Amino acid sequence: MSSNSSHTIHQSHPHLSRPGQSPRQSLVRKLLIVFFATLLTCVVVLILILLFAFSYSSRVSTLTAQDILDRGLFVQGPDRVDVLNATKEDGVWIRVDGRVGLDMGRVLRIHSDDNDLIWTELWKGVGRWGVRKIGGISVELSPVIAVSGNEPSRRSDGPGN
């Protein structure tokens, strides 16, 4: 009779344990399944992140300075031009204020395109997110000396030197 009642328990509650398995073994089995499923999910996500990082790093590592200048550099201005000094010996000294920028979206080619597939758009979206996370970068330049082509190159620290 005890075998019938035990058999009845297994039929009425099949999710608690399998025949020949204690409830503790069943719990351990379920916990292992959850653990390995979570581990597999984490490994897959890590591999996807590494593939994204590798794809962008390989793109950046092959860039040349000329590529950056051709695709990403833009100049706005001049916003202001001041004549600092004009002499026969030193020529004309002027101050030009303007803005120079670098569009990393154009350099990395991550701007949206109407012909992009959904996966390409998602990949570019991750790249745009990364560029936004970097934020802005400020650069201060020292004075730039420009001379005409027919005049020999010379270095001077300022007007009237």
Each domain of the chain, given as residue ranges in start order, spans 1-62, 65-161
User: Tell me, what's the pLDDT at 20?
Assistant: 67
User: Tell me, what's the pLDDT at 98?
Assistant: 86
User: Tell me, what's the pLDDT at 30?
Assistant: 94
Structure token digits, residue 108: 């990395």
Residue ranges, the chain, pLDDT below 70: 1-20, 139, 149-161
User: Tell me, what's the pLDDT at 160?
Assistant: 47
R_g over Cα of the chain? 34
User: Tell me, what's the pLDDT at 39?
Assistant: 97
User: Tell me, what's the pLDDT at 116?
Assistant: 86
